[in-house]
Structure 1
């Protein structure tokens, strides 16, 4: 089997690094990118020039790409009357437009190849929308929609798209948390720090799901249970979300 050619953003640490290691274990050629040091290529996902340089590197080195993993992202959130509009702009620019730029950069190549896979790492927040996280929820929901649209639009070219929607897992993402709602940020940071799973666990589940051809990937039991409740019993889901919102009043 020909080794896969894989580009991963946000690969210096966390899930991106775990995915890069997992693909390399399989014998894939991996281009790990990030704004941090210790990767193969510096790539700021908000920079059109950086994306063009990444495309040039792929074309020069490999002549094509099999898997694009849009993983880079930032953490943010806050109650509607606390989070500022600049926070909304920041999280949208990185978490949504970063993926849009990556997708637009490589779609022409994938269409010419008539093959390829685009993987967008979203969050359970793209499907289940707890209070206090309007900006993060909205952007991750947009990533889910972007991925579904991508899969439909490119199916005729043999290109697939999958979206990953994990629940809380231990990751360094919270180190870059910013926002005016510091009290709510502390709550989320605690949930991340005490989560039972780490990035290696999630990466293992993601690759297994991609092997099965899944388009919506819920890589942990907490994510699957929460989304199942929303689909199966909307009234119970809404009540659970409102109870969670009520607890925010104590912050």
Structure 2
């Protein structure tokens, strides 16, 4: 049965990979992204509209389009996001405001806009793309971790809140995979951005691999979708072997400090 699907940030990366898979299986897909004109690479038959997830006006326009052309929505994929990284005393508050507005409030706006429709039709599925950083909170990424943890919390809340109306909610928590997310890095902490770009560009899996796992998780109506062995190991270590988890991330923080030219044990640094 063909579903009607809206994908934010669907012109590239994981959003595009999900769009292709859904279109291949016969879903009717509306992709929204920042480009004014339809980007290349979208499958034929997929509809495109411009939408900035920071703009409630854009969300209202997308809602009006869905009501007029489809009359319903089966799956909302809140995928749009930006990368950021920085130590708390280095990253600017303006960078915090940017990533919160996109990664957290952008997801919240999407859920807020379409929740009423999904409740009224007594069906639907919200898929919020967070990150392993929403579950495992390594050093030097406080703003990114905070937004992705917020998406995890929002998704869990809505999974209970919307369940009486038969609306499912899944949160996707992938580790690093090859995508163009690193192109959105901005901010003052060059050391953290360099480390983040290296983790993304040198990852062993790509967006297509992750998208296939995500789609299986959505079909299975999983509330939390972990996409790789590293993510599962880190998450279970935090839950079941907390001392080991703490030692690992403490060591990671010391390596980060030394790469940035500071020795935590040197009082003069």
Give TM-score scaled by structure 1 length.
0.98
Counterparts of 1:94-173 in structure 2, within 5 Å, are 94-173=102-181
Q: C-alpha deviations, 1:142-187, integer Å up to 9, x for none?
A: 1000000111101001101000000000110110100110111101
Unaligned 5+ runs, structure 1: none
**Does residue 198 in structure 1 map to residue 206 in structure 2?**
yes
Report the Cα distance in structure 2 between the residues aligned to 1:229 and 1:26, rounded to whole angstroms.
Answer: 36
Count of residue pairs the alignment pairs up: 250
Report the Cα distance in structure 1 between the residues aligned to 2:51 and 2:192, rounded to whole angstroms.
Answer: 30
Report the Cα distance in structure 1 between the residues aligned to 2:74 and 2:200, rounded to whole angstroms.
Answer: 32
Q: C-alpha deviations, 1:64-96, integer Å up to 9, x for none?
A: 000000000000110111011111111000000
Report the Cα distance in structure 2 between the residues aligned to 1:61 and 1:7, rounded to whole angstroms.
Answer: 13
Match of 1:9 in 2: 8
Structure label with greater radius of gyration = 2
| Moved >2 Å (runs of 4+) | none
Match of 1:53 in 2: 61
Unaligned 5+ runs, structure 2: 43-47, 261-269
1:249 Cα deviation after fit: 1.3
1:141 Cα deviation after fit: 0.4
Report the Cα distance in structure 2 between the residues aligned to 1:213 and 1:154, rounded to whole angstroms.
Answer: 14
Give TM-score scaled by structure 2 length.
0.92
Match of 1:63 in 2: 71
**Does residue 87 in structure 1 map to residue 95 in structure 2?**
yes
Counterparts of 1:235-246 in structure 2, within 5 Å, are 235-246=243-254
Provide the secondary structure at the position in 2 that maps to 1:76.
coil
Provide the secondary structure at the position in 1 that maps to 2:170.
strand
Tell me which moved more, 44-53 or 220-229: 220-229
Report the Cα distance in structure 1 between the residues aligned to 2:29 and 2:240, rounded to whole angstroms.
Answer: 39
Match of 1:31 in 2: 30
8 Å Cα contact 2:85-2:196 kept in structure 1: no
